[in-house]
Amino acid sequence: TLSLYADKIEALKQKFGPSLVIMGHHYQQDEIMRHVDLAGDSLQLAQMMDGIDAEHIVFCGVHFMAESAKLLAKPEQKVYLPDMGASCLMAEMVPAQALDVVIEKISAHGKKIVPLAYVNTSLAVKAIVGKHGGAVCTSSNAKKMLEWAYGQGESVLFLPDRNLGNNVGNMLGIAQDKRHTLDVRNNGGNLDYDAIDRAELIFWDGCCPIHEFFKEEHIAFMRQKYPQAKIYVHPECPQEIVEKCDGAGSTSYLIDVAEKARKGDVLIIGTEANLVNRLARVHEKRGVTVIPLFAEAFCPDMAKITEGLLYKTLEDIAANKACPVEIDGSMVEDAKESLVRMLNHCA
């Protein structure tokens, strides 16, 4: 596609050489992905940090990802997010202070819970989780990390995504009546302690609005229209959806499924539309049909990173006036602990 910025970005990349790395999550737009040196799902992007020596890391994704990258970076490395306002709607559903209050209240009630936080959370939330002996997980290791969390205590507080939590709870065979979704309004003022006492798996009431929007009707419609097709979704979709499809997994799992498909196969994929549209274009060339389960499922925050902003970030770095992502030093130790528990357990 015609672009004002593509050549300028590539020229600046040449100029920086190995002192610059551009990382990107799979939900980024094609205009960004063509400039990305390292692409991955949330787990891969975190794991890659260990092998990066570049002084400047431009992270094309949302804020919690850039924050995790900074947390795992060497102190002298700088991480930049081309739009500091690219947040994650799900991560915003857990204000750190509310989590602190809820954990304190449940502990004071006498229930021991191990917090397990999806990586889609702020640094402050990861620090609280780390301080309480918990860990981080991503969609590709949530089952393994939930098993780990049960090894630490009898009950687990999974946050923020109740959909991913329910889907992983199903994999481990946790009975529905042993699950409870907290009412976290008013800073946890409405906690139901009887339900909390009975529960082995407790959820924060959060979700990804983009995946929450997938409905059983979408599956029914596709099954009728394409009876030969296989349907795969991201586990941030509600459990009724995951139960009715042929497989669920992280963005890298969905990419793998498309790569393994053979000529003539039809795949319906339910996740963020930038990724699905890209898979459709790439695999069409070899006779594989990829159809989005819902074509308008764009993440508005991922889309905030544009080629223009990427160019401006590189230009600012070159002129020594770019603002890197800063993290609160008082939270670093606890937050890192929660991430490192995951990385060590899922090496």
Q: Is 45 in the site for ligand SF4 (CB under 6 A)?
A: no
Q: For residues 140 and 239, which CB has a smaller minimum distance to ligand 13P in the complex?
A: 140
For residues 113-142, which are near ligand SF4 according to CB under 6 A?
120
Pick the piece of the chain touching ligand 13P (CB under 6 A) from 107-115, 126-134, 138-146, 325-333: 138-146
Beta-carbon contacts of 236 under 8 Å, excluding residues fewer than 6 positions away, are 90, 139, 161, 163, 164, 207, 208, 210, 211, 212
Q: Among residues 91 and 113, whose Cβ is nearest to ligand SF4?
A: 91
Strands 247-248 and 266-270: unpaired
Interaction with ligand SF4 in 260-279: which residues (CB under 6 A)?
272
> CB–CB of 176/198 below 8 Å?
no
- Of 67 and 236, which CB lies nearer to ligand 13P in the complex structure? 236
Q: Which amino acid is at 229?
A: A
Assess 166 for contact with ligand 13P (CB under 6 A): no
272 vs 337 by CB, closer to ligand SF4: 272
Q: Which of 138, 141, 155, 239: binder of ligand 13P (CB under 6 A)?
A: 138
Of 81, 210, 293, 327, the one binding ligand SF4 (CB under 6 A) is 210
Q: Where does this chain touch ligand 13P (CB under 6 A) — which range of 136-144, 223-231, 282-290, 311-319? A: 136-144
Cβ closer to ligand SF4: 39 or 302? 302
**38 conformational bin, left if phi > 0, alpha if psi -120 to 50, beta if neither:** beta
88 makes contact with ligand SF4 (CB under 6 A): yes
Q: Is the peptide bond before 227 cis (omega within 30 degrees of 0)?
A: no
Enumerate residues 208-227 that contact ligand 13P by CB under 6 A.
208
Give the list of residues 6+ apart from residue 298 with CB closer than 8 angstroms, or none: 210, 272, 273, 274
Number of residues that bind ligand 13P (CB under 6 A): 13
- Which residue stretch of 8-16, 134-142, 166-174, 258-266 sits at the interface with ligand 13P (rule: CB under 6 A)? 134-142
Residue 301, binding choice from ligand SF4, ligand 13P, none, Cβ under 5 to 8 Å by partner class: ligand SF4
Output the CA–CA distances (angstroms, integers) from residue 209 to 5, 93, 115, 212, 280, in the order listed. 31, 11, 22, 5, 23
Footprint on residues 90-109 left by ligand SF4 (CB under 6 A): 90
The listed partner (ligand 13P, ligand SF4, none) that binds 251, CB under 5 to 8 Å by sort, is ligand 13P
CA-derived radius of gyration, the chain = 21
Q: Show Cβ contacts of residue 308 under 8 Å, excluding neighbours closer than 6 positions.
A: 4, 5
Nearest CA to 90 out of 187, 184, 206 is that of 206
Helices (H), 232-328: 239-244, 251-260, 273-284, 307-318
C-alpha torsion angle, residues 121, 207, 140, 219 (rounded to 10): -160
Q: Could you tell me the smallest distance in angstroms from the CB atom of residue 170 to ligand SF4?
A: 20
C-alpha triplet 327, 330, 332: angle, nearest 5°: 55
Residue 15 is which amino acid?
Answer: K
* Residue number, 56 or 234, with CB nearest to ligand SF4: 234
Binding part of the chain for ligand 13P, among 39-47, 104-112, 123-131, 141-149 by CB under 6 A, reads: 39-47
Residues at the contact surface with ligand SF4, assessed by CB under 6 A: 27, 62, 88-90, 120, 208, 210, 272, 299, 301-302
Q: Which residues bind ligand 13P (CB under 6 A)?
A: 26, 41-43, 88, 120, 138-140, 208, 236, 250-251
